[in-house]
Structure 1
């Protein structure tokens, strides 16, 4: 017999049970996700559902020590919001009859950075180029502020950073926060890893000038970082990302 955690929202828990059984309630639609999750969206109500599928037997032990993936995601998102960074606000959570944990969050406006660079800001006209530069500079400032606060994102791929343009400004939000950590000061190796993850974009998506524009804005949040040290960090993050893309057969 599976012992279920008491859900905090019985009505949405009933919806989650249906979604876990691929019995989509009216208005809900499944969306593509990793092999370790099942994700659905209800656009009319502005809700996102995420079910955490088991990855390995070690996950059970890790959950006993650190909390389940769903618990860590909710806890880390709450911590980000309390620190002034946008992240999912969860309105329902619990454990399903199949033993999987789930979260339901309010939808966050915006698209992933990858979408902006590949589809939203591809024009060569002056207005689009200015907006693209503003995006990268604002992103660099946002990530620099995140790191300077002590946060290291667990998977800072560009699609895990959402950008919304409103009122002449870009506003960012972080998703997939289950593996985030908070350390002051943040370890240099983890900073490098985050910067490498953000660099995992094809040269057709992001030129070297684009990458440097982002990095200069990031560096401004670290005035104690010397120019030569910062330059070496930027080069290593870029080269590491290119090696990974090449290993994946994408270059």
Structure 2
């Protein structure tokens, strides 16, 4: 993929880059007067015509590609553009392979500049979180796990100077049917926002089963993201651990910001529970944070809360894979 190239009718109009792209290279494209975002996957690769690789090697590669195609097309078929409520999902419009390489195309979305969502007024934060929660709830309602929820996979838009900011959920490359993830060697995600059961599965824990990776994986990540959108950071945790999930698996309590109201603290603590079954459904998230009063940061711990903890500090964390950033489209 090169600037000026044409791939299946998509004219590449920007220099392709791997910036924040993980296992892909991306660029902007135009076809039929419409603007698109096109992604070239670095893996898997189909066998080359005339390859001298052994028959067994070719067969193994074709099996991997067939599974990759099946999962991508399955998610695309479930996430149809005409599904009610799908307006804030940035869905693929095309998926194909050219030669040995796979490509995926979405419409190009231009985000609004917003570096500090936590600085928005409470009502604006509530709308932002509600639109994000509704999109995640839509996925879960059809049995789909996003699989890589994190702020860089949310584009924030404001359609006018006095309009609310809304969340557009992107990047479904790592999505899967609840309880049926890719194998540990193929699954990807982000170690900062990954749930404990995901961490164990990726690390090859023999007790971590595919069936353990359900929509609750997203709930854990959404709890961390909501804390960041409300306060500016994810919950704090001891420096001995590489991620919130590692701290939770060690029996540590995440430090939820004491400025949040008790019901919000309780919600976020439940969403980041070690036990996936203890995490609340998205409906509880919407019921709580759909109320602008819940998005108010209090100057002191609200009455009724006595276990104050230090506010969380920003933490860069380590990533298993970094997807495309906020300003990529």
User: With structure 1 as the length reference, what TM-score do the two structures score?
Assistant: 0.57
The answer on 1:88 being equivalent to 2:104 is: no
Superposition pairs of residues 148-159 of structure 1, within 5 angstroms: 148-159=141-152
Question: Conserved in 2, the CA contact under 8 Å of 1:29 and 1:42?
Answer: no
Unaligned 5+ residue runs, structure 1? 1-9, 17-24, 224-241
State the distance in 2 between where 1:189 and 1:96 align. Answer: 32
Task: After TM superposition, give the deviation of residue 166 of structure 1 in Å.
Answer: 3.7
Paired positions, count: 196
Unaligned 5+ residue runs, structure 2? 46-56, 180-210, 236-255, 272-279, 288-311, 320-329
Find 2:139's aligned residue among 121, 135, 146.
146
State the distance in 2 between where 1:133 and 1:156 align. Answer: 18
State the distance in 1 between where 2:317 and 2:106 align. Answer: 35
Greater share of helix residues, 1 or 2? 1
The answer on 1:248 being equivalent to 2:318 is: yes
SS in 2 for 1:29: coil
Match in the other structure for 1:220: 284
Question: Conserved in 2, the CA contact under 8 Å of 1:89 and 1:105?
Answer: yes
Superposition pairs of residues 94-133 of structure 1, within 5 angstroms: 94-97=96-99, 99-110=100-111, 116=114, 119-123=115-119, 128-133=121-126
Match in the other structure for 2:35: 46
Question: Conserved in 1, the CA contact under 8 Å of 2:144 and 2:175?
Answer: yes
Match in the other structure for 1:174: 169
Superposition pairs of residues 50-65 of structure 1, within 5 angstroms: 50-54=39-43, 60-64=62-66
Over alpha carbons, which structure has the higher Rg? 2
Superposition pairs of residues 173-212 of structure 1, within 5 angstroms: 173-183=168-178, 189-200=213-224, 204-205=232-233, 208=256, 209=260, 212=265
Match in the other structure for 2:130: 137
SS in 2 for 1:103: strand
Change (3 A) 1:217 1:164: farther
User: With structure 2 as the length reference, what TM-score do the two structures score?
Assistant: 0.46
SS in 2 for 1:197: helix
